[in-house]
Structure 1
């Protein structure tokens, strides 16, 4: 049985597997065929898993199924991991966070999340390319570029315009670009990304995906490269709401099977004024008609949801992110003192021992590690020079977390809503990052001028992933289908 890799989701694949219409070996082979057709033009992968190993895993999971042993609702389903989730070297994939400096690192143990997915019976097809160190190298680096993996391209746009800004309309998104492209291009039904500020939601919206960044701190990130524990959270990316829900259940160890799933019962959604939330020109130059189209489609979504019974309020007011103190400096400090040392320590063998080692490697290997136009490493240097007192930094974090929560809680309470929604192509998610609250994506439309998808981001209170997953399910049922790339 063949299936359309561009629109078939994991839940449907699981149904076909359970009815013996497909085997996991056959599923994997069909994704391999799509990868062979289009990976050379899109460059989603940085380290594909050896196919013989993948097929052996798939065959073993098929045998378990035949013996009545199912590990989870995603037993035998393929997945792609961002190149920041350490996997044991015996699996045949590297983990470099996109950096040439980490090529040759060896690990005997999987990251906690990779192991959780393996234990649930998912099949890892490979590691996806990412923005090097999730952006903690050079401030104006194009998302989806790394010295180890090169540039990932959108399957919808297929090229980056000359002199494009980092979040311009042909740019592929945030640091989890490879994972998003792998799903939208039909290389895998599921992928894992990580997000600091926008790294899951931006590439997901630009690939017309449903995705979730869970509450910060809700998962064990041992063996995962993160820029900072304060902002970062790993999360699922998929073609439909049900797939996000199934993967979130495995990641968070919670059952999201409310009888109200797909209904508006208990949900109340506040939409911000899209005219007040956009990207500055230095990040995304406006193109004729794009502002008008994205605004019109945003309003159309509101009208559609209202007609379908969604309790909503528009517009709701949320203060501009300028009210928050500097949100980046603490990431530099965490990277040097917490997250990079922890990432290095998770390997059994690693050529790097510190941030200083990485900077020196890049200088020594400029032609490969810092080719034009990415000839700087200003963020690594800022991290290297980040030497604030730990107690002072803890106070800064506490104040920022409190402020983020106060801002959002006031908006929730003043408007009587439990979800806030705004455009992805804006700074709206920054408040959620400061608060540590979960966010989720909703596909909205597709730019007429170049075919790039765009979407909305929804915010809920801490640990209320269920409301976001319920919103995605109800939204998907009410709104138009996500657009597919022309592949």
Structure 2
């Protein structure tokens, strides 16, 4: 990959307009898509310039973070196409010319889609639908990011951010700390300014946790808003792709492109306000002192900004937890094997994957495959016990949000996204302390996380949840909070901190 990168960086593909003088982006971390578009429209920046800048960041920074598993050999060419469109007044919208990274469970013909597994090294036949939508929007597909292998659904003691293909992704704030969740590479890469935005996927927590733990913005959209075609699945009942970015406006712009259909989530973000709003706060207090402190700081921001804060608890959580996992185990076998049948040159069954892992020298080197073994024995989707588990989980998750919103006349519910990142270790799995993703994940409702503060050098986010198809609402609250709190700061790449 590095030799390819060097070659890409040396190729002069397109010159800037004769009337303009291009100059580099001095602070990629702070730059937003609207700012970049204004510069490209004004002729002081080209997409080729921007793409090269991010390729240089990957070359110079990612050796510490280890978040990018492949760069796209067509990236500079895509950027040049965008520059040609812009020169002729044919730019396709705000994503045109913007470099984006994709989680490596999303099908791409050129770069493949491994889900982190060495068993899936033969590329798929076609791009995923969301990749086609990004290309239609003019985006530059920069490369693929590492992930927790099989989206953290292979072992009960898996370590987030590790895969047989990409090794271990590190948290860019403190490198011996974990990036969290299966979209770990996407979160770490965006935090480290290796692309303007990235696409992650979530079943339960895998967009919002790595966003919170890596100090970036993430949106887990309403289920069904983004096509699941060509994405390695856990469960069609909960899986969704979604945007990850350093700024809410960028997440909103990327979400608009992913969904398509002419929607514009960024249109009204500038007028978003907390004043006069009613926010339920689900503190999940007592699990981590650092997270508790950040939540209180967030509550103070809400109140200073004119919001009414209502303390709430979300009901039915124990019942949801008890039903969700066994339902996912059953769905995983069915949905994964259905997906595998679309891929050439790979095992076609869960049993085949289990056998591959047993024979491979890398796959089981850090942890086992207990979930694969359990799922291989799962009943069919017609099994009455499974049907009741899924009905219970989804119904109660929706009620947990809908009833609290209605009872307190709330606009949204806010909760801590994550505790400070734990040290990455193997054998015992993740030292997970708290999260709040389950109600929105299981219900299929939207959930937006935004940086809220720090516990020492480690970022903590807060999540905004609301009812079905309230994606625009949670993005507006995230934007208003971002502007009021100004909590994010760039990563520090510390080697470690005291335990």
TM-score w.r.t. the length of structure 2 is: 0.87
Structure 2 partner of 1:305: 302
Unpaired stretches in structure 1, ≥5 consecutive residues: 160-169, 279-290
Structure 2 partner of 1:206: 213
Question: Secondary structure, in 3 states, of the residue corresponding to 2:238?
Answer: coil
Q: Is 2:98 aligned against 1:77?
A: yes
CA contact (8 A) 1:321 1:427 kept: no
CA contact (8 A) 1:228 1:335 kept: yes
Moved more, 108-117 or 397-406: 397-406
Residues of 2 paired with 1:321 and 1:204: CA distance? 23
Residues of 1 paired with 2:275 and 2:94: CA distance? 25
Residues of 1 paired with 2:244 and 2:284: CA distance? 24
Question: Secondary structure, in 3 states, of the residue corresponding to 1:117?
Answer: helix
Residues of 2 paired with 1:351 and 1:434: CA distance? 30
Structure 2 partner of 1:370: 364
Deviation at 1:98, TM superposition (A): 0.5
Structure 2 partner of 1:98: 116
RMSD, aligned α-carbons: 1.7
Residue of 183, 186, 197 corresponding to 1:190? 197
Unpaired stretches in structure 2, ≥5 consecutive residues: 1-22, 419-433, 494-499
Q: Is 2:347 aligned against 1:352?
A: yes
Deviation at 1:333, TM superposition (A): 1.2
Deviation at 1:415, TM superposition (A): 1.1
Q: Is 2:466 aligned against 1:460?
A: yes
Structure 2 partner of 1:439: 447
CA contact (8 A) 2:148 2:181 kept: yes
Question: Secondary structure, in 3 states, of the residue corresponding to 1:179?
Answer: helix
Deviation at 1:107, TM superposition (A): 2.6
Which aligned runs of 4 or more in structure 1 are off by greater than 4 angstroms?
none
Deviation at 1:140, TM superposition (A): 1.5
Residues of 1 paired with 2:276 and 2:90: CA distance? 36
Deviation at 1:259, TM superposition (A): 7.6
Q: Is 2:24 aligned against 1:2?
A: yes
Structure 2 partner of 1:37: 60
CA 1:389 to 1:186, structure 2 compared with 1: closer, same or farther past 3 Å? Answer: closer
Partner deviation per Cα, 1:71-129 (whole Å, 9 max, x = no partner): 121100000000011012xx3x12110001111x2333210011111111111111100
Deviation at 1:214, TM superposition (A): 0.4
Residue of 369, 392, 398 corresponding to 1:399? 392
Q: Is 2:7 aligned against 1:15?
A: no
Q: Is 2:390 aligned against 1:384?
A: no
CA 1:13 to 1:346, structure 2 compared with 1: closer, same or farther past 3 Å? Answer: farther
Structure 2 partner of 1:342: 338
Deviation at 1:320, TM superposition (A): 6.0
Deviation at 1:16, TM superposition (A): 1.2
CA contact (8 A) 2:75 2:140 kept: yes
Deviation at 1:336, TM superposition (A): 0.9
Question: Secondary structure, in 3 states, of the residue corresponding to 2:354?
Answer: helix
CA 1:389 to 1:78, structure 2 compared with 1: closer, same or farther past 3 Å? Answer: closer
CA contact (8 A) 1:218 1:252 kept: yes
Residues of 2 paired with 1:243 and 1:260: CA distance? 12
CA 1:320 to 1:443, structure 2 compared with 1: closer, same or farther past 3 Å? Answer: farther
Deviation at 1:272, TM superposition (A): 1.5
Equivalent residues, number: 450
Structure 2 partner of 1:323: 319
TM-score w.r.t. the length of structure 1 is: 0.89
Structure 1 partner of 2:481: 475
Residues of 1 paired with 2:435 and 2:454: CA distance? 20
Residues of 2 paired with 1:268 and 1:241: CA distance? 21
Deviation at 1:389, TM superposition (A): 5.2
